[in-house]
């Protein structure tokens, strides 16, 4: 008798096992949702690299648009990471490296190739200083978000409550926008057929000191609004929406003028941001002073 003929027929358990649904293999690793923020950061990094590439071909409009796109992506990836609960140390470091290239190296190189190369060797000094300031600012930011140290008396002290809505210094994306203000303004004046004003804002004597000033603001301790938990009073909601709609209309019709105006307005807001921080600090100290005085009297 052959082996096939002598084999026993499968029992009931064996027949049921044939119809059992197959289980999918389980893989170790993060879900795709947690990778979305890192993918956005990578797209922003590619936009910054491409901005340098097109600037080599003197395509200044495309270079400026790509840096703006990188800034928009940078504003989204962190919020999406918090929404999807995909924040990680790797993502924070990757985002900082991307920011350094997109908002530190790319604007400096674009402005150097656009106008500062006319000043020969000295024209590269403001670009170098701006990139270094960007790196220092991002390194300081990374040092402030490290995990709590093992020893309670080490590490930077936590921010007081009134300082939670403020950055220390100008953020890197905002610094890139301020640095590119001459490029935005020159493109605006060229579109309006005002070559004299376009040449004035393009002159290295204007662009170089502006780069140095913005670099200093990035590494300074100037408190600037973060707009993360910014609350709008109810009576200002409708005017704010109308203002945003008007700005979007200008952005679609005169994009370079709108971007130049945004940089000018943000630069003017720095004074009011510092004044608001000082007022909140005085109010907080005034609220703590009676408690300290009362505690001293009780000990006496």
Q: What is the pLDDT along the chain (300 residues), one digit of tens a residue?
A: 444 555 565 565 655 555 555 666 666 766 777 788 899 999 999 999 999 999 999 999 999 999 999 999 998 888 888 888 778 888 888 999 999 999 999 999 999 999 999 888 899 999 999 999 999 998 988 887 654 444 444 444 556 766 778 888 999 999 999 999 999 999 999 999 999 999 999 999 999 999 999 999 999 999 998 877 677 788 888 999 999 999 999 999 999 999 999 999 999 999 999 998 888 888 888 877 665 555 554 444
- Compute the distance between CA of residue 140 and CA of residue 46 in angstroms, rounded to an integer: 24
Which positions ≥6 away from 108 have C-beta within 8 Å?
A: 126, 127, 128, 130, 131, 179, 211
DSSP 145: T
CB atoms within 10 A of CB 271: 10
- Compute the distance between CA of residue 47 and CA of residue 101 in angstroms, rounded to an integer: 10
Query: What does the angle CA 224 – CA 226 – CA 227 come to, to the nearest 5 degrees?
Result: 125
Does residue 77 contact residue 44 with C-beta atoms inside 8 Å?
yes
Could you tell me which of 95, 94, 103 has the C-alpha nearest to residue 69?
103
> Count of H helices and E strands in the chain?
13, 2
Helices (H), 101-235: 106-114, 124-144, 172-179, 181-191, 195-202, 204-219
- Compute the distance between CA of residue 268 and CA of residue 56 in angstroms, rounded to an integer: 32
């Amino acid at each position: 008798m052959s082996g096939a003929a002598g084999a026993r027929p499968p029992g009931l358990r064996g027949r049921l096992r044939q119809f059992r649904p197959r289980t999918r293999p389980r893989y170790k690793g993060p879900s795709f949702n947690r990778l979305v923020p890192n993918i956005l950061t990578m797209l922003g990094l590619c936009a910054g690299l491409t901005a340098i590439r097109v600037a080599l071909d003197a395509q200044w409009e495309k270079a400026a648009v790509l840096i703006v796109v990188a800034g928009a992506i940078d504003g989204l990836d962190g919020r999406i990471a918090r929404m999807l609960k995909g924040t990680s140390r790797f993502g924070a470091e990757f985002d900082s490296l991307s920011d350094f290239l997109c908002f530190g190296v790319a604007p400096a190189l674009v402005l150097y190739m656009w106008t500062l190369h006319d000043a020969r060797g000295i024209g590269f000094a403001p670009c170098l200083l701006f990139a270094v300031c960007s790196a220092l600012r991002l390194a300081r930011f990374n040092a402030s978000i490290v995990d709590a140290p093992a020893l309670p008396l080490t590490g930077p002290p936590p921010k007081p409550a009134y300082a939670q809505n403020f950055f220390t210094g100008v953020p890197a994306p905002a610094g890139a926008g301020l640095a590119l203000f001459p490029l935005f303004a020159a493109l605006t004046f060229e579109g309006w057929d005002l070559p004299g004003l376009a040449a004035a804002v393009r002159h290295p004597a204007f662009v170089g000191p502006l780069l140095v000033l913005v670099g200093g603001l990035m590494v300074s301790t100037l408190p600037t609004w973060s707009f993360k938990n910014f609350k709008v009073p109810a009576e200002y909601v409708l005017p704010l929406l109308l203002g945003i709609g008007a700005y979007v209309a200008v952005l679609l019709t005169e994009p370079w003028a709108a971007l130049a105006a945004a940089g000018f307005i943000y630069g003017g807001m720095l004074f009011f941001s510092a004044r608001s921080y000082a007022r909140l600090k005085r109010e907080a100290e005034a609220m703590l002073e009676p408690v300290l005085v009362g505690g001293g009297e009780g000990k006496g």
